Amino acid sequence: MRFFKSISLCLAIAISVSSCMINNTANSNNKTINHYGKQTVKLIKTDVPQRPNGQKDVLGLRLAPIPVVRVGFIGLGMRGHSAVNRFTFLKGVEIKALCDIRPEYVESSQQTLIKRGCPKADVYTGEDGWKKLCERKDLDLIYIVTDWANHAPMMIYAMEQGKNVACEVPAVTSLEEAWAVINTAERTQKHCMMLENCVYDFFELTTLNMAQQGLFGEVLSAKGAYIHNLEPYWNAYYNDWRMKFNKEHRGDIYATHGMGPACQLLNIHRGDRMTSLVAMDVPATSIPMYLEKERGEKNPQVKNGEMTHTLIKTAQGKTMYIEHNVASYRPYSRLYQAIGTNGYANKYPFEGYCLRPTEQAKKSVPNHENLNTHNFVSQEAKKALMDKYKHPIHKETEALAKKVGGHGGMDFVMDYRLIYCLQNGLPLDMDVYDLAEWSTLGALTELSLENNSAPVEIPDFTRGGWKKVKGLQFHYKK
Ligand SMILES: NC(=O)c1ccc[n+]([C@@H]2O[C@H](COP(=O)([O-])OP(=O)(O)OC[C@H]3O[C@@H](n4cnc5c(N)ncnc54)[C@H](O)[C@@H]3O)[C@@H](O)[C@H]2O)c1
C-alpha cells in the first residue's frame, strides 16, 4: 500500500513538473521562449520617429508673459462644468468662450458665469463648434475637457491656431497620437499641458518637497494607482464613451493619476527616464456582471481587465508599480508610495511617513517591541513634518483652494499654477513630454498584455533631451 502511495506521489510530481514546464513557455512576437533554455526574453521595440527638420524640443519652454489669460473651454460635462466654476475664482483670467456639442451643457456653464458675477461668454455648439472656438483670434488658452477620442485632434488643431492648450487626462490614447501632439507642440512652440491634478494633492506635493529636500535619501521606487469603482458614474458619460473604451481596450487606460506623482518623485525626463514595462491583468469580471445586471446586456464582452498591474524600469535602475482598477468593489485609492534609502511615504489607506532614526536614537538600546520600521511616525510628528515641508505652492494657494474645492482643492491649485506660469512667462509645471509619458501607459501596457506580458520598450519622447534638465523644478516669478 505504502509502495503504491509513493509511486502515485512520484507520478503526481512528474506530472506537475512537466505541466509546469509547458506552462512556462510563453509566446511573444510569434517566438516561443523557453524559460528553462538559454534564450532571454526580448523587448518589444517601439519606434521613436526622427524629429522633423527645423523643429526643436519644448523642454523648459518660456513664452512671453500673458498678464490677462483669455480662455476658451471645450467640453462642459461633469468635469468641464466644474472647471469653469473654478476659473471664476482666478485673478487675471477672462472666460471668453464656452463650447459643448450639447447646447444645454453650454447654457449650464453660462449660468455659472452669471451666478459668479462674470461677463457672459460667447457660446459654441454642434459638431464643429470647437473648431470655430479654436479659430478665434482673442484666445490665449484652450482648455479641453471632452471624452478621450477628441483630445488629440482638439489639442493639435488648437496649437495650429496659435493657442496654448491644457487637456484633461489621459490626453492621448495611442503612441501615434502622442507623437503627433509632441510634433505639433515642438513645431508651433506652444505650451501643451495635461491637466493632471493629483500632483497638486496636499500629501503628494508635500511629500515631493520632502523628497526633493533629501528627507527620504535617494528615492529608489514609487507606486501609484487609480483604484476607483466607477459603477455610480458609468451611465453619466456622454454617449457612453468611457464604457465603450473599456470594452475595446486592455491595459492601464487611466494611468495618469498614479503615473504623475510617481514620475515626479523619480525625476522622469529630468535626469532619468522610463525604459521598459511589463503588465499583467485579471480578466474583466465585475464590469460584465454590472452590464448584465444594470443594462441587461447578454454576454457582454469587455477587454479591459478587472485590474491591471504594471512594473516599470528606469534608466537609473529604479522601479515603479502602477495599478488600474475601475471595476472591483473596494475603497478608492491612488496607492502613492515613495520608497527611499532613508525613508518612506504612504498615502492610502492612511497617510504616513517612516524615517530612518536619528544618530541619537540609534545609540540607544533597541527596543524590539517598538522598532521604527514597524510603525509610521506619530500623527503629531507627521503633522509637524507636513507643516515644515509645506510646498511654497500650497502656502500660496491652500486657503482659497480649500474654499473653491475640486477633489479637496488640488484641482484649483492645478488651475492656479497653469495661469500663474502663463501670466509670468514661466515654463509650466508639466510639459508635453509628461503628457506623453503618463498617458501612453495605456497603449504600452496593451502591447505587453497582448503578448503574454512580454516586456515593452518605453519610447524616449524627449528624443535624447531627458538629461538636459536635472530634477523637477517649479518656477516662480523673481
Ligand atoms: N482629473 C480628474 O480628476 C478627472 C475627473 C473626471 C474626469 N476627468 C477627465 O475629464 C474628461 C471629461 O470627463 P467627464 O467626466 O466630464 O465626461 P462627460 O462625458 O461628462 O463630459 C464630456 C463632455 O464633452 C462633450 N463633447 C463631446 N464631444 C464634443 C465635441 N466634439 N465638441 C464639444 N463638446 C464635446 C460632451 O457633450 C460632454 O459634455 C475626460 O478626459 C476624463 O477622463 C478627469
pLDDT score of 408: 85
Nearest CA to ligand 1 atom 32: 101
**Cβ(241)–Cβ(438) under 8 Å?**
no
Predicted confidence (pLDDT) per residue in 305-349, tens digit: 999 999 999 999 999 999 999 999 999 999 999 999 999 999 999
Confirm or reject: Cβ of 130 under 6 Å from ligand 1: yes
Task: Say if 122 falls within a structural domain.
Answer: no
The pLDDT value recorded for residue 39 is: 63
What's the predicted TM-score (pTM) here?
A: 0.91
Residue 73 lies in a domain: no
- 277: CATH: 3.30.360.10
Mean pLDDT, residues 411-422 taken together: 98
Q: Is the CB of 147 under 6 A from ligand 1?
A: yes
Percent of the chain exceeding pLDDT 90 equals 84
Q: Which domain holds residue 311?
A: 199-393+430-468
Cα 202 to Cα 207, 254, 321, 351, 352: the distances in Å are: 8, 21, 21, 11, 13
Tell me the best of 98, 100, 123 to mutate to test the pocket of ligand 1, counting ligand atoms within 8 Å of each CB and taking the most: 100
Residue 218 lies in a domain: yes
Kindly state whether residue 304 falls inside one of the protein's structural domains: yes
- Assess if residue 330 is contained within a domain: yes
The yes-or-no verdict on residue 106 having pLDDT over 50 is yes
C-alpha cell at 20: 509546469
Q: 47 lies in a domain?
A: no
Cα(78)–Cα(81) distance, integer angstroms: 6
Rounded to 5°, the CA angle 261-384-209 comes to 30
- For residue 105, give the nearest of 73, 149, 150 by alpha carbon: 73
For ligand 1, the distance from its centroid to the CA atom of residue 80, given in whole angstroms, is 6
From 110, 130, 147, 246, the mutation candidate for ligand 1 (largest count of ligand atoms within 8 A of CB) is: 147
Please give the Cα distance from 397 to 399 (Å, whole number).
6
Tell me if 205 sits within 8 A of 391, measured CB to CB.
yes
Asked if residue 146 has its Cβ within 6 Å of ligand 1, the reply is yes
Which range has the worst mean pLDDT, 9-23, 205-219, 232-246, 356-370?
9-23
- Using DSSP's 3-state secondary structure scheme, residue 137 falls into coil
Does residue 401 form part of some domain? no
Measured by CA distance, the residue closest to atom 25 of ligand 1 is: 75
Residue 31: pLDDT band with limits 50, 70, 90: very low
Closest residue CA from atom 7 of ligand 1: 79
How many domains does the chain contain in total?
1
Distance 145 CA to ligand 1 centre (A): 5
101 occurs within a structural domain: no
Which tens digits make up the pLDDT trace of 272-309? Answer: 999 999 999 999 999 999 999 999 999 999 999 999 99
Distance 327 CA to ligand 1 centre (A): 20
> Best substitution site from 74, 78, 130, 254 to test ligand 1's pocket, by max atoms within 8 Å of Cβ?
78
- At 224 the pLDDT is 98
Ligand 1 touching residue 75 (CB < 6 A):
yes
AA identity, residue 233: Y
Q: How many CB atoms lie within 10 A of CB 351?
A: 17
